[in-house]
Amino acid sequence: MVTFIPFGEKPNREGVLYVLNLLKRNKILEDYMIVESSRIDLLAERIPVDRGYVVGDHLAVYGIVEKLRPQALLSIDAHTDLMHDYLDHGSWLAYALEDRYVNRAAVLAPVLMIPTTERTELWTRRVKIYPALLRSRKVRGKWRAYKNLQTTPLEEILTDARKYLGHEIYLTVDMDVLRPEYRIARFQHGELTLEELLTLLEEIKKRFKIVAFDIAEVSDRIKRSKLGKKAILEVFSLLMG
């Protein structure tokens, strides 16, 4: 079964329901349910233990992992979602790690990694980051490059992530990881084409046991995006297959 969670502001809610109907029209969705909540603290008690979830605001995944308590989580996202100031779509993973809903995590393909204000901290404990582009960090006084999709072979990155996370993972795919022309999410987009994302997902499926997955940050922009509709259909089909 697949659970649809129209959580967040109106564009996110409408986007999730549009995707539900899109999948039904294309006859690639059978059993499903809709779970609604206006509060993140009530979401975990309402959602079922399921194989797949389609959500609006990425914050909803905080409620999903509170329910499922996966040992490890792999996030594909244009953002790290590791800001540590207050709980929202840009910090849910940091708080999921802090609250021990997830023991370890890895983030693949972020392009935006820097805290936006001086008061914002970046959570760094029990998580690895593999940026989409070449990025560096200071380690013991020296600048060192992250393993990244621009200069490091995908096989090497996933081997490293497998060693860190183990065999079983919860997978979250934020659709803003795609380039701007796909017009699915509401905020800044990433650097991946649909073909690159599908290749990444196929390789993840080969190397990990995905205990459950979600497709996140769906918005009503997809109604006017031919590329966005194609991306949703293909990503959903691959993950459900």
Query: 5 pairs with which residues across the strands?
Result: 55
pLDDT at 110: 93
Sort 187 into a burial class: Cβ within 10 Å, 0-12 / 13-18 / 19+: middle
2-240 fold: Arginase; Chain A (3.40.800)
pLDDT at 74: 98
Give the rounded percent of residues in the chain with a pLDDT score beyond 90: 82
Q: What is the pTM of this model?
A: 0.94
Span 80-104, pLDDT tens digits: 999 888 899 999 999 999 999 999 9
Gyration radius from the chain CA atoms = 17
What element of type H or E holds 54? strand 52-55
What integer is the mean pLDDT of 51-57? 97
Task: Please choose, from the candidates 204, 184, 206, the residue with its C-alpha nearest in 3D space to the C-alpha of residue 194.
Answer: 184
Query: Is the model's pLDDT at 143 over the cut of 70?
Result: no
Residue 187 φ/ψ, nearest 5 degrees? -110, -160
Span 7-32, pLDDT tens digits: 999 999 999 999 999 999 999 998 99
Residue-range domain boundaries for the chain: 2-240
pLDDT at 138: 62
Higher-confidence position of 123 and 99? 99
Binning the chain into helix, strand and coil, the percentages to the nearest 5 are: 40, 20, 40
State the sign of the Cα–Cα–Cα–Cα dihedral 149, 95, 217, 180. Answer: negative
pLDDT at 47: 96
Whole-number mean pLDDT of the chain?
Answer: 93
Q: With contact defined as beta carbons under 8 Å apart, do 215 and 54 qualify?
A: yes
CB atoms within 10 A of CB 152: 16
Contacts of 198 (CB under 8 A, 6+ apart): 234, 235, 238
Span 169-181, pLDDT tens digits: 999 999 999 999 9
